[in-house]
Chain A
Amino acid sequence: MTMGTTLFQLLISFLLIAIGAYGGGLVAVPLIEHELVGHRGWLSFDQMAELVAIAQMTPGPIAVNAATFVGYRQAALAGAAVATAAVVLPSVCVLGALSGVLERLKNNARFLRVQQGLRAGVLSLLLYAAWSYGRAVVVGWTEMVLAVLAFALLVAMDRKVHPVAVILGGGLAGLILF
């Protein structure tokens, strides 16, 4: 396969993943797996598990992590750059096109009702993300206690403690406990 073909396939695949990577968190994982493992055969199941593990250790959304990772493996730096750009492209296009429209609709009554509804819908996705993420990592009582402690600390010390400090605290607790 020529370099050009590979880059084009990376572009298409990660455009699709970006558009479908909806709702945040681990919701995107099955879609990424379907595209990269099932459709393209770029990753084995083991490599996919490795990717999810790496994504949890690296900053940034999993779709971006996956793009750089797979792009680099398929076509070195050019692949990483193309795949990562493909993940960002739909956001930039859609929001760029929408921002003028949103500004004009700001005071439209029907749009405000839709927005009220959207907010409630977004809360359901947030709750689901917390649930699905929690289910993936909380596998016993120790994990449960740690997760609840992190949550309680963040709520009780809201605005006072930096969330990143709580995550690092979780990591240190992990070093001691696991």
Chain B
Amino acid sequence: MNRPAEDVSPAALAPIRVSRAVLFWAFVRVAALTLGGGFAMAAVMRHELVHKRRWLSEDEFFSALSTATAVPGPVAVNLAFLEGRRLGGRAGAATTVLAMVLPSFLAILLIVAFVLPYLNHPQVGAFFKGCAIAVAGQIAFAACAFARRLRRTWQSGLICAAGLAVVVAGWHPVWAILLAAGLGCLICRPSPPLASDGGGREVEAEVEEIE
């Protein structure tokens, strides 16, 4: 299942297929161990799926994260669907979405049924306050790792700044996404992302210019 880092043979470029049981376990682990939503989870998923298990290249992962953010629905659920689909087809997507939601579902039921009275305990509060602060650092780290994969062009900089301006002004994030898509269509160069992921997988798609 694991792929050596330097393997760039054509077979290695085809999507890896992973059995449903293995997928389920991998995603349940990520979902159960991660505090915070999609962006916080992205850092953990990248560690587990890209670096530890080598199921996806860094570029594939960030392209999935980008799509997961750009479509409606919680980012974590979208990300699980896209990766499950890539690694195991339709059944894989169903598996990973279930695996993503189940720990959260069970945790809330447990908390509502048993833990709610203890939530005001000062030490419980202190522990989770510390976790929440580290999660803020984790989201910043996810942003940083994502930024490193982005091509450094004036177009990217401009679009990112415009998107930030939109959300800082208090508009709904969907406007930032629509603006980015529109500007991208107008000013970005059409070549596909090419940055190597350090794992040696470099895929150059053939671009057909359709105007």
Q: Which residues of A contact B (CB under 8 A)?
A: 18-25, 27-28, 50, 53-54, 56-65, 68-69, 72-73, 77, 80, 84, 87-88, 90-92, 94-96, 98-99, 102, 106-110, 112-130, 133-134, 137-138, 143, 146-155, 158-159, 162-164, 166-175, 177-178
CB distance from A147 to the nearest CB of B (A): 5
Q: Is the CB of B74 within 8 A of A68?
A: no
| CB-defined contacts of A72 to chain B, threshold 8 Å | 108-109, 112
Q: Is the CB of B173 within 8 A of A118?
A: no
User: Which residues in chain B, 18-65, are within 8 Å of chain A measured between CB atoms?
Assistant: 31-41, 43-44, 47, 51, 62-63, 65
Q: How far is the CA of A84 from the CA of B163 in the complex (A)?
A: 30
**Top 10 closest A-B pairs, CB basis?**
A117-B184, A174-B130, A121-B180, A60-B104, A170-B134, A124-B163, A150-B137, A23-B173, A91-B73, A151-B137
| CB-defined contacts of A115 to chain B, threshold 8 Å | 63, 66, 184
Q: How far is the CA of A60 from the CA of B182 in the complex (A)?
A: 31
Q: Is the CB of B67 within 8 A of A102?
A: yes
User: Which residues in chain B, 161-211, are within 8 Å of chain A measured between CB atoms?
Assistant: 161-164, 166-168, 172-174, 176-177, 179-193, 205-211
Q: Is the CB of A171 within 8 A of B150?
A: no
Chain B residues within 8 Å of chain A by Cβ, number: 113
Q: Is the CB of B159 within 8 A of A120?
A: yes
Q: How far is the CA of A174 from the CA of B107 in the complex (A)?
A: 22
| CB-defined contacts of B4 to chain A, threshold 8 Å | none
Q: How far is the CA of A62 from the CA of B90 in the complex (A)?
A: 25
Of B81, B159, B210, the residue contacting A110 (CB under 8 A) is B210
| Interface pairs (22), CB distance under 8 Å | A19-B73, A23-B177, A25-B38, A28-B37, A61-B41, A64-B101, A68-B109, A88-B77, A95-B73, A95-B82, A109-B190, A115-B63, A117-B185, A125-B167, A128-B173, A150-B134, A151-B138, A154-B137, A159-B51, A166-B137, A166-B138, A178-B129
Which residue from chain A places its CB closest to the CB of B74 in the assembled complex? Answer: A61
| CB-defined contacts of B123 to chain A, threshold 8 Å | 175
Q: Is the CB of B133 within 8 A of A116?
A: no
Q: Is the CB of A155 within 8 A of B141?
A: yes
| CB-defined contacts of A69 to chain B, threshold 8 Å | 108, 112
| CB-defined contacts of A169 to chain B, threshold 8 Å | 134
| CB-defined contacts of B119 to chain A, threshold 8 Å | 50, 53-54, 57
Q: Is the CB of B130 within 8 A of A122?
A: no
Q: How far is the CA of A39 from the CA of B146 in the complex (A)?
A: 37
Q: How far is the CA of A77 from the CA of B112 in the complex (A)?
A: 12
B131 interface hit (Cβ, 8 Å): yes
Q: Is the CB of B69 within 8 A of A24?
A: yes
| CB-defined contacts of A162 to chain B, threshold 8 Å | 44, 47
